[in-house]
Structure 1
Amino acid sequence: MGIFSRFADIVNANINALLDKAEDPEKLIRLIVQEMEDTLVEVRTSSARTIAEKKDLVRRVNSLKEESEEWERKAELAISKGREDLAKAALLERNKAVEVVDELQLELNKLEEVLSRLSAEVSQLQEKLNDARARQKALIMRHKTTSSRLKVKQSLYDSSTEDAVSRFERFESKLNELESEVESYDIGRNRNLADEINDLEREDEIDKQLAELKARVNKKS
């Protein structure tokens, strides 16, 4: 099973569980990012173990190659000394080492394929994680904004809100009526002596300003 199929199974299981509980979507976003981070750490740890195993195989292969070359040298020595029996025995040992090298080389090739695949998948997962981190704040902000708008919409269509607005409008209408009633008392009210004197003073001031204006105009002419 690849990283992404396994990761998808984990995330989907958690998301479905949270949705069943009607959990906060912000928690879902954080969960997805956390699952990606945990999966990335786990895969990198697995990759480190695989790399260590590969190094161990490489050491064994190199050691067996040296051993086979040593048996080859011993076989040549035995032939040069006229000991064909020892040469045959040395060649048998050399062949055993070569067979083990071939087997280990197959395992090494498989490990290299696994590491190559892991490297590609880790790179893809890292890119997706970086993208998820970059979008996390924006998604959470969008959710908060949308939730606020939803509450406003619900309030606008809520009957209790409509009743409150209606009561407010009735109060405003009553206040207008009271203000109009207060103003009505000034209609037809008899002017007293102080009012008439004030009017004379204002008229006298206007006449004075008019005379000054005429004087300035005549002076300019």
Structure 2
Amino acid sequence: MGMFSRFTDIINANLNSMLDKAEDPEKMIKLIIQEMEETLVEVRSTAAKHIAEKKTLSRQIKSIEKNIANWQDKAQTALAKEREDLAKSALVEKHKCQTQLDALMSELTELEEFLASVQNDGQNLQNKLAEAKRRQDAYLLRQQSAQVRLKVREKAAVYNIEDAINKFERYQQKIDEVEAQVEAYDMTSNQDLTSQINALEADEAIDKELAEMKKQVVNG
């Protein structure tokens, strides 16, 4: 047994309320449509069965109507021949047929009313099914729209990330250039300091050599 226990449950169902309360509306509407379609098949099968019964009843009614007319003719013929006994017997048979006809006509009336009800219910079910399918289409459109929006945002996020990376790389490049300039300056400064120190050491060596030469001259 599905979510609907009776045919009238579907007809009287408030789809909006059911879907609003559902944890998964898309799954719920799919199940509702499936059950409605199955119920519609049952309704059509029931209608086809009773239409066949109506045709059978109609044939039986026509046959009995012919019998009634036939017994009426026989009664009139017997009465014309002054056979009142036979005429009476023929009328008895006619009334039997009439009783059968009345019962069949009553059954036919009930059957026609039932078929009219089935047709009306079937139309209501078709309307409900169409309503449910419209809701399903609406959910599908919402899902597709959400997927499109998600892709756009994902692309925007990727673009923002790439842009941030590019900016960082540009900043890093600038920092590298500044650091390179500092290193070059330090390198140059170190070279100048070294040259000065080397020059002082060279001067000191010359002064020592000159002092030795003076001592030799004096002592000589």
TM-score bin, normalised by smaller chain: 0.5 to 0.7
Which residue of structure 1 lines up, in the alignment, with residue 216 of structure 2?
none
Segments of structure 2 that go 5 or more residues without pairing to the other structure are 150-166, 186-220
Q: What letter matches 1:138 in structure 2?
A: A
How much has 1:49 moved relative to structure 2? 0.5
Using the size of structure 2 for normalisation, the TM-score is 0.59
Which residue of structure 2 lines up, in the alignment, with residue 66 of structure 1?
66
Matched, 1:5 2:8: yes
Aligned structure 1 segments of 4 or more residues deviating by more than 4 angstroms: 143-149, 176-182, 187-190
Which residue of structure 2 lines up, in the alignment, with residue 183 of structure 1?
178
The Cα offsets for residues 129-153 of structure 1, whole Å up to 9 and x where unpaired, read as 233223313214536877999xxxx
How much has 1:31 moved relative to structure 2? 1.1
The Cα offsets for residues 91-110 of structure 1, whole Å up to 9 and x where unpaired, read as 01101111111111111111
- The 2-side partners of 1:43 and 1:8 are apart by 13
Which residue of structure 1 lines up, in the alignment, with residue 110 of structure 2?
110
Which residue of structure 1 lines up, in the alignment, with residue 39 of structure 2?
39
Segments of structure 1 that go 5 or more residues without pairing to the other structure are 150-171, 191-221
Identity of aligned residues (%): 38
Name whichever of 81-90 and 125-134 sits farther off. 125-134
Which residue of structure 2 lines up, in the alignment, with residue 137 of structure 1?
137
- Report the 3-state secondary structure (helix = DSSP H, G, I; strand = E; otherwise coil) of the residue aligned with 2:181: coil
The Cα offsets for residues 22-66 of structure 1, whole Å up to 9 and x where unpaired, read as 7x5433221111111111111001000011111111111111111
Alignment CA distance shift 1:8-1:113 (3 Å): closer
- The 2-side partners of 1:111 and 1:26 are apart by 40
Alignment CA distance shift 1:73-1:81 (3 Å): same
8 Å CA contact 1:65, 1:101 repeated in 2: yes
Count of residue pairs brought into register by the alignment: 161
- Report the 3-state secondary structure (helix = DSSP H, G, I; strand = E; otherwise coil) of the residue aligned with 1:38: helix
Listed as ranges, the matches of 1:155-166 within 5 Å are none
Q: What letter matches 1:186 in structure 2?
A: Q
- The 1-side partners of 2:11 and 2:147 are apart by 27
Q: What letter matches 2:88 in structure 1?
A: K
| Rg comparison, structure with higher value | 2
How much has 1:123 moved relative to structure 2? 1.4
- The alignment's C-alpha RMSD in Å is 3.7
8 Å CA contact 2:72, 2:91 repeated in 1: yes
8 Å CA contact 2:72, 2:90 repeated in 1: yes
